[in-house]
Amino acid sequence: MDNFKNEIFENLIGEVSKCCLGEDQCGSCEKDKCLIGYCNKCLVTALKQQDWFISGGMDKLPSYDTRFYDDEVVVDAIGYLLNQCRNCSLYHDEECIINIIRSALEIILLGEVQEYRGSVLVYLNDIKKVNEKMANRILEAFYRRKSEWMPELKR
């Protein structure tokens, strides 16, 4: 097992779990029918398989999930997640776990999956054209979360 990889997956599970509404609100966890439950399931699979890619992971996203999540928490999670993207550019792969989780969070924040062209900066620019207000919140969360391990970036 790769400790570095495990730490990344475990931290991602922790961030995504913060978005969970809990069984108080949902009754019982609907797992695959819930965007957050689905993300956690994909992350656990990725962790077990020690693989960044989930075959068919985008096809099964429960985009019909209409729960009211706390968008502050979700924006914070996407800010964290964008810092985990390796900016693969032309080698971007839709089945990458980072892409799958980001797509689920986009459904919550923007109503649908957005195009991702393998670069955080390109993405931040692209979503400005879709929803400038939300794009600014995501940008702020991206830099705020980055500054947690790069304090010199604190504004």
Q: What is the dihedral of CA 151, 148, 106, 86, to 10 degrees?
A: 80
Q: Does 99 bind ligand SF4 (CB under 6 A)?
A: yes
d(CA 139, CA 125): 9
Among 44, 88, 121, 150, contact with ligand SF4 (rule: CB under 6 A):
88
Q: Does 121 bind ligand SF4 (CB under 6 A)?
A: no
Number of residues counted as binding ligand SF4 (CB under 6 A): 11
Cβ contact 95:51 at 8 Å: no
d(CA 152, CA 112): 34
Nearby residues of 10 by Cβ (< 8 Å), 6 or more positions away? 47
Nearer to ligand SF4, 74 or 100 (CB): 100
Nearer to ligand SF4, 23 or 90 (CB): 90
Among 5, 41, 67, 92, contact with ligand SF4 (rule: CB under 6 A):
92
d(CA 142, CA 75): 9
d(CA 113, CA 90): 19
Residues 68-87 that bind ligand SF4 (CB under 6 A): 85-87
Nearer to ligand SF4, 98 or 109 (CB): 98
Point out which residues bind ligand SF4 (CB under 6 A).
Answer: 85-88, 92-93, 96, 98-99, 116, 118
